[in-house]
Structure 1
Amino acid sequence: MREYTFELKGEYEGLSHAQRVAAAVASGSLASVDLRWSTPQGGALDISVPVGRFDEGPVNFDGAQIMEQSLKGMALWDGAASPVAVVYRSKDVTP
Structure 2
Amino acid sequence: MRYQVQYQMWSPETGRPKETLSIADRDNLKPEEVAGLPTVGDHIYVMDFKGGPSIEGVVKSRLFTLGKEFTSINIVVEHSEDHGHLIKE
Question: Which protein is richer in strand relative to its size?
Answer: 1
TM band (smaller chain)? 0.3 to 0.5
TM-score, normalised with respect to structure 2: 0.41
Indicate the structure (1 or 2) with the bigger Cα radius of gyration: 1
Q: State the TM-score, normalized to the length of structure 1.
A: 0.40
